[in-house]
Chain A
């Protein structure tokens, strides 16, 4: 197993996981009489004090509506909102702040593209997605197909949960308009070869949307190196607040696309005869946005960068390897998702014990994992399981957390024996 995006050697001495953990107030609690072991990070991550303080400070000191007031507070709020856009631009290594659109989350980002970019799709056009997509990168395209008569094609995965490049190549054709692919799978942990996927799509004349909701907290991103057309993020999965996400789009594409929603802020002038839409990025940000959201997200990005993206990735990579080792010793445990390049996800089933029961027993030990289909029912169908148990790692998890998981699983087996 190799990790996607780092070269720095992991070193527990220089990576002080306990100090990092101490920055996340929620983690210092007992659950059912045990110290909380939070391993449901793929669902949502916890927030460092820096993010909580940024939100509090914004509401306590600077709250005002943006882009419209002449007064001091509005100026401050606008400045911080736009500084957050610049921070996200730098985080993604995008070329231009105007390519960063604030949305509610990855889901809304994908819906925006399917709705707006998809408006020109016609019967016979084709959209390709992979089997391991989150429902949010399936359903908006299905809805677009229903509206437009376009056809959805699905790239299969193998038993390890690897994207099958050759099968993908066979599906590409001049009819392909759009390829939707997840950068890192939330149900399997697979890190997909998105750069090659994008290059091949471009060679066929198609555009690509990469779902980066899970990749963002685990590796350094570079939308220009990938040459992706669209990239989406969810703030809450990268230590930021809920309700804020990002759509990155190449400027010429965004320029050419019709607005997604109509309202205030997205217009230059309105009359009943003619309304002129605003320029990027405001064309896609109708109405008063979640102003505190980007401000909190910037604090999260700053925090991740202060710890070091490569160091986080190295730490999590080592922890994943350790977790795999410990889980391999558990009798009757089968890993779901064993791709060569993967990150932060331990998805598994236990023989004769339903994931839901595992989840309940671990919860009583203070261990939070996710059980279910992880909004990836096609993946469950592919593996012939109704659900899996999933432990997912973040920068604040330590070796003792995965040890607690292994202990909890042995206890689960004991309860059921």
Chain B
């Protein structure tokens, strides 16, 4: 039960039930689609980058499990106001956190550290990282949907 509580922390359950920035962005200039064929999770990320390459707005739509919805929701909060380089760097940290590889920096991760419990559930890692992979695809304006497989 303990590792379940670590996985499904209050914050995660809250974001899973009430995702933030769950909408379309009318001024989005970068979008991408993500899909996890194993569980059917779908996400569409909308990004608005200003001329300086700073994330002015980021939001999403889609359907998924609590982990994937919460991860997407919290990612949108974390990335607002960040530069492209900062966004990518944060993904590196997050990836290290989820997969238990390397030494993630709690300072940089901030609230995203609540996802540390996912490490004990390797077959849920893709749920947590789908949004991030999709976000990277959006930054590169890749047309083909991102798939976890």
Contacts and interface: CB of A to CB of B under 8 A. Distances in A.
B127 interface: yes
A371 interface: yes
A300 to B, nearest CB: 28
A361 B66 contact: no
Contacts of A360: 4, 7, 121, 124
A372 interface: yes
In the complex, which range does the number of interface residues on chain A fall in? 10 to 19
A221 B84 CA distance: 62
A354 B13 contact: no
B3 A364 contact: yes
Contacts of A357: 8, 65-67
A360 B39 CA distance: 12
Given A386-B63, A416-B13, A356 B4 contact: no
A380 B67 CA distance: 21
A380 B41 CA distance: 13
Interface residues of B, number: 22
A415 interface: yes
A413 to B, nearest CB: 12
Contacts, number: 49
Contacts of B104: none
A357 B17 CA distance: 13
A297 to B, nearest CB: 29
A361 B65 contact: no
A357 B63 CA distance: 13
Interface in B53-82: 63-67, 69
A372 B8 contact: no
B1 interface: yes
Given A372-B38, A386-B40, A386-B42, A415 B65 contact: no
Interface of A: 352-357, 360-361, 364, 371-373, 380, 386-387, 415-416
Interface of B: 1, 3-5, 7-8, 13, 17, 38-42, 63-67, 69, 121, 124, 127
Given A356-B39, A360-B7, 19 more contacts: A354-B64, A354-B69, A355-B39, A356-B127, A364-B1, A364-B4, A371-B39, A372-B38, A372-B40, A373-B40, A386-B39, A386-B40, A386-B63, A386-B64, A387-B40, A415-B4, A415-B5, A415-B8, A416-B8
